[in-house]
Amino acid sequence: MTPDLVGRPFEEAEAIAKTAGLSVKTEMTHPERDFFPVDERCLYVVRQRQLADETILLTLAARLRKEVS
């Protein structure tokens, strides 16, 4: 059974997948507009798809940066 990795930080999700014996491929998603600043160093899994041969494709998104006004 494939573990549910959606919502987890990428590093944690990758470790869980490798422990389960799965290969991981990634793709990034970005906002269409750059209205909100994002932190590219802090990635989260927003989508997961099972591919052939025990590989999962994780779609990653960067966390929004906090702004104080």
What is the pLDDT, as a whole number, of residue 31? Answer: 76
Strand residue runs (E) in the chain: 23-28, 38-51, 55-64
What is the pLDDT, as a whole number, of residue 1? Answer: 77
pTM: 0.82
Question: Looking up tokens 């998603």, which residue turns up?
Answer: 29
What is the pLDDT, as a whole number, of residue 60? Answer: 95
What are the pLDDT digits (tens) for 23-69?
A: 999 999 877 777 666 777 889 999 999 998 889 999 999 877 666 55
What is the pLDDT, as a whole number, of residue 16? Answer: 96
Is the distance from CB of 51 to CB of 19 less than 8 angstroms? Answer: no
Domain boundaries, the chain: 10-64
